[in-house]
Copies of this chain bind each other. A is one copy, B any other.
């Protein structure tokens, strides 16, 4: 029997204990915000997260959403996505890392796998790289199909 859980399975099981493992107190608001990010891999803005949760948590303040996301970013659970627009977007940070693709037609943002290690060049070896981000702009498969 395989008792070893991978990252995804662990997340599904128990967000509160995951947060505590990361040194974050598992308040109701934080759990619900993290859960929302897990279930909505659409790179939501603060406003989108707030609007989605306000009916369930009537006391919720936008400031709490900001505070929580900034905490998650600081603790490296969540990544800021600044692919476009004036609003910051947020995405669960997975250990493997992935890139983002912004469709200029339907405006959706996709996660795309990226062979990040292949990016490195000789020149970069002089630097100590702690994090890397890749994003693309273009037209997604769905829109390409619609166009043809």
Measured CB to CB, the nearest residue on chain B to A134 is B134
Known: A82-B82, A124-B136. A130 touches B104 (CB 8 A): yes
Distance, CA A139 to CA B141, complexed state (A): 37
Residues of chain B within 8 A (CB-CB) of A138 are: 127-131
Q: Which parts of A111-128 form the interface with B (CB within 8 Å)?
A: 112-116, 118-119, 121, 123-124, 126-128
Q: In the complex, are the beta carbons of B112 and A124 less than 8 A apart?
A: yes
Distance, CA A62 to CA B101, complexed state (A): 32
Distance, CA A118 to CA B117, complexed state (A): 9
Which A residues are closer than 8 A to B by beta carbons?
82, 99, 101, 104, 110, 112-116, 118-119, 121, 123-124, 126-141, 144
